[in-house]
Amino acid sequence: MHLSDNPAAQPVADWIRRAPKAVLHDHLDGGLRPATIVELARACGYEGLPTEDPAALAVWFRDAADSGSLERYLETFAHTCAVMQTREALERIAAECAEDLAADGVVYAEVRYAPEQHLERGLTLDEVVDAVNAGFREGERRTGGKITVRALLTGMRHTDRSLEIAELTVAHRDRGVAGFDIAGGEIGNPPARHLPAFQHLKRSNCHFTIHAGEAVGAESIHEAVQICGAERVGHGVRITDDITVHEDGTADLGHLASYLRDNRIALEVCPTSNLQTGAAKDYASHPIDLLRRLGFGVTLNTDNRLVSGTTMSEEFQHMVDAFGYGPEVFEQFTTAAVEAAFLPLPERRRIIDELVRPGYAAL
Ligand SMILES: O=c1[nH]cnc2c1ncn2[C@H]1C[C@H](O)[C@@H](CO)O1
Ligand SMILES: [Zn+2]
């Protein structure tokens, strides 16, 4: 099913909006406000936008990304990255990102982006990271501390800068950066190509996740977790390749699937994005429910709020519609996300004890 067959701008139940949420997988360059893109494009002289009408631009992104292919999904980012090349633009976009997530009830967010994609107008890698961090701090301040945001620095799988970005991550950790990731086209770019980056992170005791099991199957997840040492998996839905479901509903797990489940390797699941890239057919048959029932460390995420035309609340609502979930399931997903956050343990505990549990109890 294509998203365009689906009603846009999903109405969301009031309790879903109020529920405390945590997002581990949200791309900064996939979540800009459409009106901000239009303004920044005018200011920096970028003439490539498909339209200058913000509402039409939002629809354009979602439709263009709804292609059935990860490669075509990724092409849309040329327009967002084009307007993310100055300190002011990055700071503004990061501050608005924190505000938008907080307005949607997100209390903890890890937001990722690839610093190497923001160097076209002369910024250095360090300046990019400083600008985004300043924006996140400003956004947290504007929301009165309702949200905590940490950055993940992404290395692009088709380029050769991952070691440099891993070093950048280590240099900026404890100053707003919580970890590292690799993203981009999965086919032809296996994670082990970036082994030196992962080895540097391991030696430096630094957190990382890897996009895997989105466009390629379980072998990509195996490489990400067992060869590269990822603590979490971005998407990971194709772990179903290693699970056999029988007619009576029981399931057998292969060794990799068992390893992920038994070690609570968190899966950063992004249902709407999966429908667009062809990693899943529709919400009702999305593997998230099977994985949850089997005891995997499932977390629910947006991936790209603009490009996928979604929010955390809308992802929750899609799951309610498809599987009839109530608040207890979302409390599970949210708790699993905070437990898998790249934060010191006492901070994770504080978010669960002071924000998540009381928030769900009050619904
Ligand atoms: O879901 C994804 N899979 C692989 N790469 C992705 C996904 N969403 C965004 N990206 C890419 C495009 C962005 O420019 C980059 C850094 O955020 O990460
Ligand atoms: Zn992603």
pLDDT tens-place string over residues 350-363? 999 999 999 999 99
Q: What is the pLDDT of residue 171?
A: 98
Nearest alpha carbon, ligand 1 atom 5: 184
Ligand 1 midpoint to CA 350 (Å): 30
Ligand 1 midpoint to CA 250 (Å): 34
Q: Is the pLDDT of residue 2 over 60?
A: no
Q: What is the pLDDT of residue 40?
A: 98
Q: What is the pLDDT of residue 1?
A: 47
Can you state the angle between helices 312-323 and 327-339, rounded to 10 degrees? 130
Give me the residue spans of the domains in the chain: 35-361
DSSP 45: T
Kindly report, residue by residue over 202-231, the tens digit of the pLDDT.
999 999 999 999 999 999 999 999 999 999
Kindly report, residue by residue over 274-330, the tens digit of the pLDDT.
999 999 999 999 999 999 999 999 999 999 999 999 999 999 999 999 999 999 999
Contact yes or no for 109/98 (Cβ under 8 A): yes
Nearest alpha carbon, ligand 1 atom 1: 303
Average pLDDT for residues 19-26, to the nearest whole number? 98
Shortest-distance ligand to the CA of residue 73: 1
- 357/355 Cα distance (integer angstroms): 6
Q: Is the pLDDT of residue 8 over 60?
A: no
29 CA closest ligand 1 atom index: 17
End-to-end Cα separation, the chain, in angstroms: 33
> Over pLDDT 70: what percentage of the chain?
97
Task: Assess whether the C-beta atom of 152 lies below 6 angstroms from ligand 1.
Answer: no
- 223/212 Cα distance (integer angstroms): 9
Task: Assess whether the C-beta atom of 183 lies below 6 angstroms from ligand 1.
Answer: yes
| Lowest mean pLDDT, pick from 2-6, 61-65, 191-195, 250-254 | 2-6
Q: Which ipTM was obtained for this model?
A: 0.99
Residue ranges with CB less than 5 Å from ion ligand 2: 303
Q: Is the pLDDT of residue 264 over 90?
A: yes
E-only strand ranges, 117-265:
148-156, 177-183, 209-212, 232-235, 243-245, 251-253
CATH of 35-361, one of 3.40.30.10, 1.10.3720.10, 3.40.50.2000, 3.20.20.140: 3.20.20.140
Q: What is the pLDDT of residue 183?
A: 98
Per-state percent for the chain, helix, strand, coil, to nearest 5: 50, 15, 35
Kindly report, residue by residue over 24-80, the tens digit of the pLDDT.
999 999 999 999 999 999 999 999 999 999 999 999 999 999 999 999 999 999 999
Nearest one of 163, 36, 54, 143 to 98, comparing CA atoms: 143
Q: Is the pLDDT of residue 9 over 90?
A: no
Q: What is the pLDDT of residue 3?
A: 56
- What is the chain's mean pLDDT, rounded? 96
Task: Assess whether the C-beta atom of 29 lies below 6 angstroms from ligand 1.
Answer: yes
